[in-house]
Amino acid sequence: MITNGTGKTVVRLHVNGEASDVMICSADTLLQTLREQLGLTGAKRACENGDCGACTVLINGEPMHSCLCLTIETINQPITTIESLRDSAIQQKFIEKWAIQCGFCTPGFILNCQALLNKHPDADDETIEEWLQSNLCRCTGYQEIKEAVKSLLPKGSAS
């Protein structure tokens, strides 16, 4: 049903619990589709190379770099973006712990943290580090982000 190259096709995505029809080329990335067709601009474009995590969304609950996913690969899979985490505990913690400055890395970080909380509620420091190394922040120095996620992970050491 999808033609190669620049031809466009309508496909159905499942984003934030809703079914949405989008028109895509086979080469479109999920990041492009979310931003340009669904107006979900919380996923940021900052490297398009899998290096910074600013474009992170959850696909089937897994944090993924949406800049490296083709939209056609995500058909029929539940996709979660920052826009659906309104008032979540992790968002509140980012605010409370002063983990936000320019805010450009924030959606990606929050989604990655949310997935970590879901998958490893007993994560230790090492696991936290391994997970969050995929996201870059140039403003905060990471301390506050660490505090935010740790405040929801009782097993992480106190600092």
Partner 1 sequence: MLENPWLSIGKPEQRIDAVEKAAGTVRYTADYSVPGLLHAKLATSTQAHAKIKAIDVSEAWKVPGVRAIVTGKMFPYHIGPILADRPPLAFEKVRYYGEPLAIVVADQEYMAKQAAQLIHVKYEPLPVVNSAREAFQTDAPLIHENSGKYMKIISNVYPVQGTNIGSHIKIRKGDFITAWENCDIKIKQTFSFNLSDHAALEPRCTRVEINPAGKVVVHSTTQSPFTIKKVLNQFFNIDVGNIIVHVPLIGGAFGGKGTVQLEPLAYLASKAVGGRMVKLEFTREEDLITAPGHIGLEATIALGANKAGKLMAGQYTYLIDSGAYTDQAAGITRAMALDCTGPYDIPNVWCDSYCMYTNHPYATSFRGYAHPELTFAVERTMDKLAHKLKLDPVELRKINAIKPGNSSPTSAVLNANNLGDVEKCIDQAKKLIDWDQGERLETADGKVKAKGISTFWKTSTTATNAQSGAVLKFEADGSVNLNCAAIELGQGSKTILAQMVAERLKMDIKKVHVTMEVNTQSDPHQWRTVASSTTFLAGRAVMNACDDAISQLKRTASIALQCSMEDLEVGGGRVYLKPSPEYGVKIQDIALGYKYPNGHAVEGQVVGHGRYIQRHLTPMDKDTGFGKPGPWWSVGTQAVEVEWDPADCSYKILKAVTVLDGGKIINPMTATQQMRGGMYLGLSFASQEGFIFDQNGTVLNPQLRTYQMVRFGEQPAEYIVDFIETPAADGPFGARGIGEYGVIGMAGALANALSTAAQVELNHLPLLPELIWKTRKESQA
State in angstroms the smallest separation of the CB of 90 from ligand FES. Answer: 15
State in angstroms the smallest separation of the CB of 117 from ligand FES. Answer: 19
- For residue 34 the two structure tokens come to 């979310």
Q: Which residues contact partner 1 by CB under 8 A?
A: 6, 27, 35-36, 41-42, 44-52, 54, 81-83, 85-86, 91-92, 94-95, 98, 100-107, 110, 129, 132-133, 135-146, 159
State in angstroms the smallest separation of the CB of 86 from partner 1. Answer: 6
Residue type, 156: G
Residue recorded with tokens 């120095």: 141
Angstrom distance (rounded) from CA 102 to CA 132? 18
Binding site partner of 64, from partner 1, ligand FES, none, Cβ cut-off 5-8 A by kind: none
Angstrom distance (rounded) from CA 136 to CA 67? 15
Angstrom distance (rounded) from CA 3 to CA 32? 18
Contact assessment for residue 115 and residue 130, using Cβ atoms and an 8 Å cutoff:
no
Binding site partner of 11, from partner 1, ligand FES, none, Cβ cut-off 5-8 A by kind: none
